[in-house]
Structure formats: structure tokens, C-alpha cells
Structure 1
């Protein structure tokens, strides 16, 4: 795993921990998939299936969309890890929910 992917994984796991503790989101499956397949592959599979991240709706309702996987991967510093289509689909979703 490269340094950038490691940084992404750390940020995603940190956000999952906050989501679980403060908003009662169950992130067990997502975290297990990250451990098994890696963070980039796990995210790509979720996006390929057209799904949102675990607890997306719950975090939107709590006004904490910033904790979602989608909000993390659209950050310019992670752009090289994902295709333009993957980033754009997350950006569009975030816009739809008023994040931008």
C-alpha cells in the first residue's frame, strides 16, 4: 500500500470510528472489507454497484455528511487513487444533498 492510500485509509477509519461512537452507525462490514481488500478496492466496489457508503443517509440527517466515504474521496489530495467518473459520481451525490 502506498503512502497516499495509507493516508486515505487512516482518514476513512477515523471517520468510521466517529460515526460509530457519535451517531450509532454500524460500519463493521465496511471496515472488514477494507481490512480484507484494501480501502481503494472496497470503495471502488461500492461505487461500481451504485451504492452509497454505510450510514450515508443517517449521517446526512445528522448534518455530518463530511464523515462519509464520498466526502473523503472527492478531496483533491486523493484524486489519483480514483477515476474521474468515481470522483464525479461522489461529487454529484454530495451536491444533491447540499454539501457544496
Structure 2
């Protein structure tokens, strides 16, 4: 695992903790996936899910899409880990839910 992948993993754990604090939402499935599959595989799996995830909707309801995996994928720091298609999927999904960049 590269340092960049480790940073992604740690940032994903951070958004897990922030969602719990800020939205009273504990995304346990995200944490399980992180522990079992690592950050990059988890992120790719979550962003490729047709129809999105319950966690994304919960964050939208809380007005905290900035804590979504999709927003994290679009962070310039991680652009070399994801394809342009991955980033477009995230960008489109966030726009669809009214996220302002």
C-alpha cells in the first residue's frame, strides 16, 4: 500500500468519525469495508454502486455531503488513484444532490 493509499484510508476513517459526530450517523458498513478491503477498494466499490448508498443519502439529509466518499475522491490529493470516469461519476452524483463545489 502506497502512502497515498494510506492517506486515503485515514481520511475515510476521519469522515466516518465526523459523520458520527456531525450527523449522529454511524456508517458501520463503511468501517467494516475499510477494515476488510482498505480505502481504495472500498472507495471504488462505493462510488460504482448503481443508485448510490444509504450513507450518501444520510449525509445529504444532514447537509454534509462534504463527508461523502464521493467528495473525498474529488480531492486533488487523490486524483492519481482514480480514473477520470470515477471522478465524473462522483462529480455528477454530487451535483445531482445539489452539492456546491
Are 1:12 and 2:12 an aligned pair? yes
- Work out the CA distance in 2 between the residues paired with 1:46 and 1:13: 15
Q: Which runs of 4+ in 1 moved over 4 A?
A: none
- 64-73 vs 22-31, greater mean Cα deviation: 22-31
User: How many angstroms apart in 2 are the aligned matches of 1:21 and 1:80?
Assistant: 30
Aligned mates of 2:74, 2:57 — CA distance in 1: 18
Unaligned runs of 5+ in 1: none
Q: CA RMSD in A?
A: 1.5
Shift of 1:54: 4.6
Structure 2 residue matching 1:55: 3-state secondary structure = helix
TM-score in terms of structure 2 length: 0.87
Question: Residue 82 of structure 1 corresponds to which residue in structure 2?
Answer: 82
What residue ranges of structure 2 are gaps of 5+ in the alignment? none
- Check conservation: 1:46, 1:52, Cα contact below 8 A: yes
Partner of 1:36: 36
32-41 or 19-28, which moves further after superposition?
Answer: 19-28
- Please name the residue that 2:55 is paired with: 55
Structure-1-length-normalised TM-score = 0.88
In structure 2, the CA distance between the partners of 1:66 and 1:5, relative to structure 1 (3 Å rule), is same
What's 1:45 paired with?
45
Q: Tell me by how many angstroms 1:7 deviates.
A: 1.1
